[in-house]
């Protein structure tokens, strides 16, 4: 009886694995690697999805920790002391703590960006500058 149960469980496990193998696998469409060396302490990992309407601007600002962002739809124009960069849907970019920049949607459709911040406890996520 025990041997029959073991065989039945083995058959079910193989059948289950086979059914999962027939399903479509996920596809990674973007990866950004941001090597960081974090000092000892407490941090918040904050994730946001931000919609910026056509003509919308995020004024000059900086962040309290490293940032990884991925443009999901539309495109975003980032301006800093070095110039202008345009990131389109599917592209990713990173920002260092204290990096001063502004962002704008110069397109005709809403831009959606997924953003993750690693912020030391008590630090500001975003500080706007004049």
Q: Tens digit of pLDDT for each residue in 110-126? A: 999 999 999 999 999 99
* Residue 39 confidence (pLDDT) above 70: yes
Q: Domain residues for 50?
A: 1-130
Q: From CA 82, how far away is CA 70, in angstroms rounded? A: 21
Q: What pLDDT does 92 receive?
A: 93
Q: What pLDDT does 5 receive?
A: 57
The CATH number assigned to the domain holding 52 equals 2.60.120.10
* Residue 23 confidence (pLDDT) above 90: no
- pLDDT-derived band of residue 8, with 50, 70 and 90 as boundaries? low
Averaged pLDDT of the chain: 88
Structural domains counted in the chain: 1
Shortest CA distance to 101 belongs to which of 89, 122, 115? 115
Q: From CA 96, how far away is CA 8, in angstroms rounded? A: 56
């Amino acid at each position: 009886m025990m041997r029959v149960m073991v065989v039945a469980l083995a058959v079910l496990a193989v059948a289950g694995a086979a059914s999962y193998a027939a399903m479509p696998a996920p596809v990674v469409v973007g990866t950004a690697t941001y090597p960081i060396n974090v000092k000892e302490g407490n941090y918040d990992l904050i994730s946001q999805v931000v919609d910026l309407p056509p003509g919308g601007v995020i004024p000059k600002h900086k962040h309290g920790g490293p940032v990884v962002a991925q443009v999901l739809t539309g495109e975003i124009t980032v301006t800093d002391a070095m110039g202008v960069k345009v990131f389109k849907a599917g592209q990713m970019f990173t920002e260092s703590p204290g990096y001063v920049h502004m962002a704008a949607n110069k397109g005709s459709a809403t831009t959606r960006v997924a953003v993750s911040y690693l912020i030391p406890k008590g630090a500001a996520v975003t500080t706007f500058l004049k």
